[in-house]
Structure 1
Amino acid sequence: MMKESGSTTELDLALVHALQIQPRAAWTDLAPSLGVTAVTLARRWERLTGEGLAWLSAVPGPAFSRTRCSAFVLVKCRPAAREALAARIAGLDEAATVELTAPGGADLLLDVLARDMAGVHRFIDEHLARLPGVTAVECLFATSLYTEGSRWRLGSLDSAQLSALARPDRTDQGGERSRAALGDIDRELLEALAHDGRLGLAALAERLGTSAATVRRRLGGLTRSGTVAFRCDMARHLTGLPVSVTFRGRAPVRDANGLHRTLATLPGCRLVAAVTGGANLLATYWLPSIGAVQHHETAMHARLPSLEITDRVIGVRTVKRMGHLLDADGRRVATRPIQCW
């Protein structure tokens, strides 16, 4: 009998890990590595997504950081306004992620995505700063994004399974490697895949009113150019890593490249970015306990003596993660597709 992990089984966790590696692979391709039938995988995934425990969606790809603008915004507000303010900010398209943080510093941590710096400024000046309850805003522009959530792995597969799944996912690939500005069909395609990143070519073609061949060509161009990536995520409490911490640090510019490689190899890494401001590095980890925060900082100090940690932001609850609205248990309850392409 399979061991239960909360309301998930080991097979569920292995399935999520497999989809993080091969997000749009056919169930028949994943089944041999996971030791079950394709029908079983389809049924398990339907349950996970139906209950909001896991989801797979299109997100901005690696080209985004080269052509668009990412920023991390720390918001202070009146204590009584925290919950209502977080829910209101989650309704804004530019706020891709909204996290309530532990008292003592900032009250909210936002990931903001926009087409350019002016878009971030408009979001802050015209929307965020005018919301009732906001008392202060600090904006950190990402100058380099070394790793982010779509590259995070659950760690549920063994070495043999990882080896079997290591081949490149060529599903739906095709088309040109570089792209000009997105057309209407591209935007409709991205919106559909933001809700469900595993929609098949035929279903997408029907939604868009075009052919499956056109969808395949368009999607191939978007993925090969790095415009879009696919990300499989899960309610955090089911991962065994319930604690989220974002370290802010200061390091000499000459050490930045070496530092980011080391930071990304520490367990639980979700994000490493170079940012503007006095603290020029930002790194987020999902950890098994609050005690692990100190252990991580100790490891950083031992391996990266030139890095000075200046702040530790503990996430209490994620209200929105990369366009997906979450309940108090971290389950997906709705989607507001990212509009920054």
Structure 2
Amino acid sequence: MSELDLALVHALQLQPRAPWTDLAPLLGAAAVTLARRWERLTAQGLAWVSAVPGPSFSRSGCTAFVFLRCPPAARRRLADRVARLTEAVTVELLAPGHTDLMLDVLTPDLPALHRFIGEELAPLPDVLDVECVLATSLYAEGSRWRLRSLDPSQLSALGRSYTPDATGSAAFNLSLDHTLLDALVRDGRTRLADLAALTGRSTATVRRRIGLLTTSGIIAFRCDMAPAVSGLPVSITFRGRATANDVNRLHRTLATLPECRLLAAVTGSANVLATYWVRDIGSVQQRETTACARLPSLEVTDRVLGVRTVKRMGHLLDDEGRRLEVCPIRPW
């Protein structure tokens, strides 16, 4: 990975659909060079852009974290099988312990979550136990995490280089939006002309529709990457308890730590769930110490170490975290 590659990925985290011609002067490279580099990164499964549920999903949809236990010999088999379920948008194999798999589950509503767990997940032959907690507030998630490869002047320029195409609110158009979203989940940088051909609409209509879906918070775009790009190969999830007043301060405390990938207030006796990406196992204790110092009432009750991410937001990954294929998410 060159410095330009890292800067390109960071730029696409900030403006995932920005034209190459807009990014070229900011990154000091020709637009055709950026396009070629991005094509190489995506072809190797090192980085990708995709559409994901936006901020409004937390108000209308259901976000849950599910922990599965299974026989030791069935861990990989169960992970691969669960990864094919569209509701399980992220699937992570955990270090051997009392829990074997951690899933991020998205459904349109609570009844759909109950159906998924009771009718699809729990009956699977290898599932011994299911624990489910629901996110009541989401303070940090993958689309907000940054690589930190750009300098302040580049960050400032990117912040004002691109604005959404539309503003306002949008009602979901089933016939058009599902087709658009399936394509954008697979490749968030799909060209407007290709989307227009796919939907049978004009490029202007597609542009306006994507703008409305984005500014209404129905969808967001994010740039994901393999550990070879992030340089942070270890995923650690802390579960803990904090007072109600301190939970309301999570966005000002734990969410501001640079390694914070996911932070949520959840149901259950352990009402805080936080995932961090760190450089090595030795950093896990340091991260816990820092978190507890920032939130004194936090009592960490469990430390869940990820050993392999099988699926991330609908994208199936290999043992090194590189994208192999897509199992599109459809939580809308």
Task: State the TM-score, normalized to the length of structure 1.
Answer: 0.95
Deviation at 1:336, TM superposition (A): 1.3
Aligned to 2:12: 19
Whether 1:315 and 2:316 are equivalent positions in the alignment is: no
Inter-partner Cα distance in structure 1 for 2:168 and 2:241: 37
Deviation at 1:168, TM superposition (A): 6.1
SS in structure 1 opposite 2:159? Answer: coil
User: Is the deviation greater in 226-235 or in 301-310?
Assistant: 301-310
Please tell me whether the aligned partners of residues 79 and 91 of structure 2 are also in contact (alpha carbons under 8 angstroms). Answer: yes
SS in structure 1 opposite 2:250? Answer: helix
Which among 129, 132, 135 is matched to residue 122 of structure 2? 129
Q: Deviations over 1:104-142 (max 9, x none)?
A: 121000000001111111111111111111111100001
- Specify the code of the residue in structure 2 equivalent to 1:247: F
Please tell me whether the aligned partners of residues 69 and 115 of structure 1 are also in contact (alpha carbons under 8 angstroms). Answer: yes
Unaligned runs of 5+ in 2: none
Please tell me whether the aligned partners of residues 251 and 306 of structure 1 are also in contact (alpha carbons under 8 angstroms). Answer: yes
Aligned to 2:85: 92
Sort the Cα spacing of 1:26 and 1:214 in 2 relative to 1 into closer, same or farther, 3 A.
same
Aligned to 2:153: 160
Aligned to 2:97: 104
Inter-partner Cα distance in structure 1 for 2:248 and 2:158: 29
Unaligned runs of 5+ in 1: 1-7
Whether 1:144 and 2:142 are equivalent positions in the alignment is: no
Which among 249, 254, 258 is matched to residue 267 of structure 1? 258
Inter-partner Cα distance in structure 1 for 2:240 and 2:96: 19
Inter-partner Cα distance in structure 1 for 2:130 and 2:3: 42
Whether 1:184 and 2:146 are equivalent positions in the alignment is: no
Deviation at 1:264, TM superposition (A): 0.6
Please tell me whether the aligned partners of residues 105 and 313 of structure 1 are also in contact (alpha carbons under 8 angstroms). Answer: no
Aligned to 1:4: none
Sort the Cα spacing of 1:216 and 1:288 in 2 relative to 1 into closer, same or farther, 3 A.
same
Please tell me whether the aligned partners of residues 22 and 161 of structure 2 are also in contact (alpha carbons under 8 angstroms). Answer: no
Inter-partner Cα distance in structure 1 for 2:19 and 2:229: 25
Inter-partner Cα distance in structure 2 for 1:102 and 1:28: 44
- Specify the code of the residue in structure 1 equivalent to 2:89: A
Inter-partner Cα distance in structure 2 for 1:265 and 1:107: 29
Inter-partner Cα distance in structure 1 for 2:115 and 2:196: 35
Aligned to 2:231: 240
For this pair of structures, how many residues does the alignment match? Answer: 332
SS in structure 2 opposite 1:134? Answer: coil
- Specify the code of the residue in structure 1 equivalent to 2:34: L
Deviation at 1:193, TM superposition (A): 0.6
Inter-partner Cα distance in structure 1 for 2:325 and 2:173: 25
Deviation at 1:267, TM superposition (A): 2.2
Aligned to 1:30: 23
- Specify the code of the residue in structure 1 equivalent to 2:272: L
Whether 1:223 and 2:207 are equivalent positions in the alignment is: no
- Specify the code of the residue in structure 2 equivalent to 1:253: A
Aligned ranges for residues 2-17 of structure 1 at < 5 Å? 8-17=1-10
- Specify the code of the residue in structure 1 equivalent to 2:98: G
Whether 1:205 and 2:196 are equivalent positions in the alignment is: yes
Please tell me whether the aligned partners of residues 263 and 275 of structure 2 are also in contact (alpha carbons under 8 angstroms). Answer: yes
- Specify the code of the residue in structure 2 equivalent to 1:217: R
SS in structure 1 opposite 2:7? Answer: helix
- Specify the code of the residue in structure 2 equivalent to 1:158: D
Please tell me whether the aligned partners of residues 247 and 309 of structure 1 are also in contact (alpha carbons under 8 angstroms). Answer: yes
Deviation at 1:210, TM superposition (A): 1.2
